[in-house]
């Protein structure tokens, strides 16, 4: 395992919760509960193996179209996680939430702001949770910020846009993992993943464990990344 080339930044699309529940004749929300457990397990493993940054896609700008009870159940899982808080402080993780937090409940927004500020001075892994996140919205938001700051169009560069993205200051994503058998990006980190390697896996997210993460990293380390060169 020590021989592997570790990705600096991993993006994970937590997909397949609904199908996991359906297979067991359970409500979709039961899949999300199990998915939240897989998230904790996977985040801990990222810390243990020395990943610098990980971004979990937890709720997209499109997920509001789901039934209200399902949206509320997912928000409740975020809230419960934020109430725990302690482990991440102990682990020296920097917790960030990326996306437009504006439409979230005030109480959730307060908890997010608290965990973000409580862990901002930590020095370990950066863990981003993407909530109400969309890659196109990320780019749009960045461009609006540049315009509001009065940027001269000729001075705008890829770097200056990158500095306004929700992931500003973090390395580009090297590896995107998508479980559940689907093979698409679904508006996740589309700017940041320009040179990412993709690993699609036939496991539903609630069943995703440390071994799946290790095997995705092994697959990544076997790939020959050329960044457009030869």
Minimum separation from the CB atom of position 227 to ligand FPP (A): 31
Closest among 114, 92, 110 to 101, alpha carbons compared: 110
CB atoms within 10 A of CB 116: 15
Q: Does 95 bind ligand FPP (CB under 6 A)?
A: no
State CA 91 to chain mean position distance.
18
Q: What is the DSSP string of 69-116?
A: HHHHHHHHHHHHHHHH-HHHHHTT-EEEEES--TTS-HHHHHHHHHHH
Closest CA to 176 of 15, 2, 1, 3: 15
In angstroms, what is the minimal distance from the CB of 13 to ligand FPP? 8
44 binds ligand FPP (CB under 6 A): no
Which of 49, 52, 63, 143 contacts ligand FPP by CB under 6 A? 63
Which one of the spans 15-23, 153-161, 170-178, 214-222 is the region binding ligand FPP (CB under 6 A)?
15-23
Task: Give the shortest CB-180-to-ligand FPP separation in angstroms.
Answer: 6
Q: How far is CA 18 from CA 130, 161, 186, in A?
A: 19, 35, 16
CB of 135 to ligand FPP, least distance (A): 15
Of 58-66, 146-154, 168-176, 191-199: span binding ligand FPP (CB under 6 A): 58-66
Q: Per rule CB under 6 A, is residue 130 in the interface with ligand FPP?
A: no
Backbone angles phi, psi at 153, to 5 degrees: -50, -35
- Smallest gap, in angstroms, from Cβ of residue 142 to ligand FPP? 24
Looking at beta carbons only, is 162 or 200 nearer to ligand FPP?
Answer: 200
77 scored as a contact of ligand FPP (CB under 6 A): yes
Q: Does 126 bind ligand FPP (CB under 6 A)?
A: no
Of 34 and 192, the one with the shorter C-beta distance to ligand FPP is: 34
The 94-98 sheet, strands edge to edge: 94-98, 126-133, 53-60, 9-13, 175-178, 197-200
Q: Which residues lie near ligand FPP (CB under 6 A)?
A: 14-19, 32, 35-36, 39, 56, 58-59, 63, 74, 77-78, 81, 129
């Amino acid at each position: 395992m020590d021989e592997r080339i570790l990705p600096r930044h991993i993006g994970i699309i937590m997909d397949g919760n609904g199908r996991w529940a359906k297979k067991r004749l359970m409500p979709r929300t039961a899949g999300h509960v199990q998915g939240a457990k897989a998230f904790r397990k996977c985040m801990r493993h990222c810390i243990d193996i020395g990943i610098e940054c990980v971004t979990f896609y937890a709720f997209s700008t499109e997920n509001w179209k789901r039934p209200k009870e399902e949206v509320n159940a997912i928000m409740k899982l975020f809230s419960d996680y934020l109430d725990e808080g302690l482990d991440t402080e102990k682990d020296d993780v920097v917790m960030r939430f990326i996306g437009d937090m504006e439409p979230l409940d005030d109480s959730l927004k307060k908890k997010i702001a608290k965990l973000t500020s409580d862990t901002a001075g930590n020095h370990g892994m950066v863990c981003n949770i993407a909530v109400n996140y969309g890659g196109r919205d990320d780019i749009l938001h960045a461009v609006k910020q540049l315009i509001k700051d009065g940027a001269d169009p000729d001075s705008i560069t890829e770097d200056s846009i990158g500095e306004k993205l929700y992931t500003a200051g973090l390395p580009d994503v090297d590896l995107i993992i998508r479980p559940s058998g689907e093979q698409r990006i679904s508006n996740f980190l589309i700017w940041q993943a320009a040179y990412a390697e993709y690993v699609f896996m036939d496991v539903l997210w609630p069943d995703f464990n440390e071994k799946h993460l290790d095997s995705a990293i092994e697959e990544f380390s076997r790939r020959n990344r050329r960044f457009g060169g030869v």
